[in-house]
């Protein structure tokens, strides 16, 4: 059995040293997005509705208000919330948030589970609050 020459060992070590950083490259973080679709009782999209996502924990750990966001639905009845800045890689789970949608005398409520590095969607049906 022949032992490898020093030159061959150094060449193999150099190849490994060059390729190793590419093999263990950091996993790029995907966006963490929540989309709430707002419809009326007939299933038609409600444009211009105010949608609020908020945490309402029984036992708050830290400041639950940091996740509170509010926006208005577009012409397709969709409100998009970007939570990418709040997610840290390696974190297990992200958040379950309450939804409140309002427009004039209409009200819709629900819950959305925001999943890390994914686009989470939920539909809320609005009806008369009177």
* pLDDT on residue 11: 75
Q: Is the pLDDT of residue 91 over 70?
A: no
Domain residues for 49?
Answer: 33-128
The pLDDT score that the predictor gives to residue 76 is 96
Please list, in sequence order, all residues whose beta carbon lies within 8 angstroms of the beta carbon of residue 127, skipping any fewer than 6 positions away. Answer: 40, 41, 106, 107, 108
Asked if 74 and 49 count as a contact pair (C-beta separation under 8 A), the reply is no
Residue 11 in any domain: the answer is no
Q: Which CATH number covers residue 64? A: 2.60.40.1120
Chain centroid offset of residue 76 CA: 20
What average pLDDT score do residues 77-101 get? 83
Encode pLDDT of 103-119 as tens digits. Answer: 999 999 999 999 888 99
Residue 10 lies in a domain: no
- Domains of the chain: total: 1
Query: In degrees rounded to 5, what are phi and psi of residue 125?
Result: -100, 125
- Tell me the per-residue pLDDT of 26-69, one tens digit each, with 9 for 90 and over: 567 788 899 999 999 999 999 999 999 998 765 556 666 778 99
Token pair for 24: 């263990």
Is residue 70 in a domain? yes
Residue 83 lies in a domain: yes
């Amino acid at each position: 059995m022949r032992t490898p020459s020093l030159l061959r060992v150094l060449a193999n070590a150099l190849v490994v040293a060059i390729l190793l950083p590419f093999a263990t490259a950091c996993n790029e973080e995907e966006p963490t997005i929540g989309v709430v679709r707002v419809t009326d009782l007939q299933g038609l999209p409600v444009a211009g509705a105010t949608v609020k996502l908020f945490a309402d924990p029984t036992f708050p750990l830290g400041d639950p208000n940091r996740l509170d966001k509010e926006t208005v639905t577009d012409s397709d009845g969709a409100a998009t919330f970007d939570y990418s800045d709040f997610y840290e890689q390696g974190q297990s789970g992200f958040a379950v948030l309450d939804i409140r949608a309002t427009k004039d005398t209409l009200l819709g409520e629900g819950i959305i589970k925001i999943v890390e590095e994914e686009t989470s969607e939920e539909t809320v049906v609005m009806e008369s609050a009177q």
